[in-house]
Amino acid sequence: MEQQKNEVLPGTLNLMVLKTLSTLGSLHGYGIARRIEQISGNLLQLNQGTIYPALLHLEQMGWISSEWGVSENNRRAKFYSITRAGKKQLAAEEESWRRAAEIIVRFLEPTGGNT
């Protein structure tokens, strides 16, 4: 039976990546993808490949940095970690998303006198 999966909302991938890196510290691309899938409870339809252009973008913006390292099972991989600017950006984005979500939730929840 096929589970119904959601598309990644535009702009949210960056946020997810930043949050992941801020929680788990240094991580490689595959790890980040796995983590996003896990957190979303496998409800998210993520093309893992899309994560790389996103990582490049974040790096170009100076929000994350990267360096080559060796994975837990001895594989050469590029490890990403969040920078100070990235943390600031994350905080700002988290705040704006929380607010946006709140507004949406308010719209969707039936309020007292309206029925």
Partner 1 sequence: MTGLRVFIHRLRGLFLKRKLEQELEDEIRSHLDMQIEDNLRRGMSPDEARYEALRKFGGVEQAKENYRDRRSLPLVDATLQDLRYGVRMLLKHKGFTVVAMLSLALGIGVNTAIFSVVDSILLRPLPYPGAERLVRVLEANLKPTHAWEGWTRLGVPLADFREWRSQSQSFEDAALHASGGGYRVSEPNGLKYLIGSRVSLNLFAFLGTQAWLGRTFLPEDEKPESEHVVVLSHVYWVERYKADPHVLGQKLVINDQPHTIVGILPDSFRDYFSYSARKDLERALPLRVFPLDTTQVWLPIKVTHEAATWYGRGGNRHGAYQVLARLKPGVSTQQAQAELSDIAARLAERYPESNENLGAAVYSLHEDVTGSSRRKLLLLVAAFSLVLLIACANVASLLLARGLDRAKELAIRRTLGAGRLRMLRQLLTEYLLLAGLGGTLGLALAVGMVAGIRPLIPADIPRSDAVTLDYRALLFTLGLTVLTTLLFGLLPAWQTAKLNLTEELKEAGRSVTASRRSRRWRHVLVAGQVALTMILLVGAGLLARSFWRFYGAELGYDMRNLVRMRIASPRPFARERYERVRPTDQDAAEWKSYWQPLLESARDLPGIVDAAFTSGYPPEGVNFGTPLRIPGHTPVNPRSGPIINGDIVSEDYFRLLEIKLLQGRYFNTDDRADTAPVIIVNESFARTYFPQQPTIGQTLTLFPGSKFEHPATIVGVVADTRAQLDRPVETHHYRPIAQVPLRGLNLLARTAGQPAESMTALQDVARLFNPNRIIARPVTLDEARARLTIKPRFYLALLGSLALLALLLAATGIYGTLLLAVGQRRHEIGVRRALGAQNQDVLRLVLREGLLLALAGLGLGLLGAWALTRFISGWLADVSATDPATFIIVTVLLGVIVLLACYAPARRAVRVDPLVALRHE
Nearer CB in complex with partner 1: 59/94: 59
Rounded to a whole number of angstroms, the minimum distance from the CB of residue 110 to partner 1 is 39
| Cβ atoms within 10 Å of 34's Cβ, excluding its own | 15
Give me the DSSP letters along 65-95. Answer: EEEEEE-TTS-EEEEEEE-HHHHHHHHHHHH
Interface contacts to partner 1, rule CB under 8 A? 28-30, 33-34, 47-50, 52-53, 56-57, 59-62, 71, 73, 75-78
Determine the 3-state secondary structure of 6 from DSSP: strand
Nearer CB in complex with partner 1: 15/54: 54
Nearer CB in complex with partner 1: 10/112: 10
Rounded to a whole number of angstroms, the minimum distance from the CB of residue 15 to partner 1 is 17
The H-or-E segment that residue 13 falls in is helix 12-24
Rounded to a whole number of angstroms, the minimum distance from the CB of residue 98 to partner 1 is 24
Nearer CB in complex with partner 1: 78/98: 78
Rounded to a whole number of angstroms, the minimum distance from the CB of residue 23 to partner 1 is 20
Q: Which residues lie below 8 Å from residue 52, measured CB to CB, with a gap of 6+? A: 29
φ, ψ dihedrals at 68, nearest 5°: -75, 140
